[in-house]
């Protein structure tokens, strides 16, 4: 890290990586300094591209390059766990599903361990590792080179294997969600696999925390219109909320609502 970054700024970066975002007022109270001082800190960190400014605070920097995978595990960690548990409850027993790369989709996998009769196809080595020991879950891993940074398998072989299946559910994550409904990511190779996953599932479940609305990424995966169920911790964006209603996307916000599968296999909230 830049030697010009102060101890307070280092702590601010640490908080942003843990919480996903930091607010001016909260930081001012935490450090016992004025909001103007915190704004100066945030502006300096954003100039160094360590954070990105949003209204009232800042988030972990993104744009054309994603945050390191291990760091992303700690961003909105509790929210991702709740999203993962809720999304897993949408999946009935004896279902087939495709799961793409992502720290939130991994949380879904961790909550599928009590299911029976599942067939899981994934390009996410971490998902396969979480599930392959369960005797009632069959795991199929896509072929190709494993990306060391995050355990993703991307490339033509992965796309080809995904296209051999037609599954009940796709569980997909996204790096960013634009207010026009665009699902965005950073790596075109990864996006091609995600596209194949979306196109070869009868129902698509999007899992993404609210911080994804405040991020940006350059590569388009698809659109909210291709999603059947959107599981999030909260959706503070009126345009996205209206778009979900317009498109008939079932919105599941995990704050206080239980989610369970219908006996016929249709997810309900």
Confidence of residue 72 (pLDDT cuts 50, 70, 90): low
Structure tokens at 115: 């299911």
Report all structural domains of the chain as residue ranges with CATH numbers, in order of start. 7-61 (1.10.10.10), 76-257 (3.40.50.1360)
pLDDT at 108 exceeding the cut of 90: yes
pLDDT digits (tens, 9 = 90+) for 148-203: 888 899 889 999 999 999 999 999 999 999 999 999 998 899 999 999 999 999 99
Count of beta carbons in the 10 Å neighbourhood of residue 107: 25
pLDDT of residue 65: 46
- Is 268 or 68 the better-scoring residue by pLDDT? 68
pLDDT at 268 exceeding the cut of 50: no
pLDDT of residue 71: 59
């Amino acid at each position: 890290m830049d030697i010009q970054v102060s101890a307070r700024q280092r702590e601010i970066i640490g908080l942003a990586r843990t919480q996903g975002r930091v607010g001016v007022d909260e930081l001012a109270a935490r450090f016992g300094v004025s909001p103007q001082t915190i704004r100066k800190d945030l502006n300096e960190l954003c100039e160094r591209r360590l954070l990105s400014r949003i209204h009232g605070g800042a988030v972990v920097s993104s744009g054309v390059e994603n945050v390191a995978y291990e760091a992303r595990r700690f961003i909105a960690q509790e929210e991702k766990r709740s999203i993962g548990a809720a999304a897993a409850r949408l999946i009935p027993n004896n279902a087939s599903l495709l799961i793409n790369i992502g720290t939130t989709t991994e949380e879904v996998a961790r909550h599928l361990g009590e299911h029976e009769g599942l067939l899981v196809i994934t390009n996410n080595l971490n998902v396969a590792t979480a599930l392959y020991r369960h005797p009632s879950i069959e795991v199929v891993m896509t072929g190709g080179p494993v990306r060391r940074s995050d355990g993703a398998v991307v490339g033509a072989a992965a796309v080809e294997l995904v296209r051999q299946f037609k599954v009940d559910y796709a569980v997909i994550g996204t790096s960013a969600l634009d207010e026009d409904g665009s699902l965005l990511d950073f790596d075109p190779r990864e996006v091609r696999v995600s596209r194949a996953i979306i196109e070869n599932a009868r129902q698509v479940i999007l899992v993404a925390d609210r911080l994804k609305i405040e991020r940006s990424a350059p590569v388009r995966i698809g659109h909210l219109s291709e999603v059947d169920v959107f599981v999030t911790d909260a959706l503070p964006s009126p345009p996205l909320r209206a778009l979900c209603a317009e498109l008939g996307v079932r919105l599941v916000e995990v704050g206080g609502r239980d989610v369970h599968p219908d006996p016929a296999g249709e997810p309900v909230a």
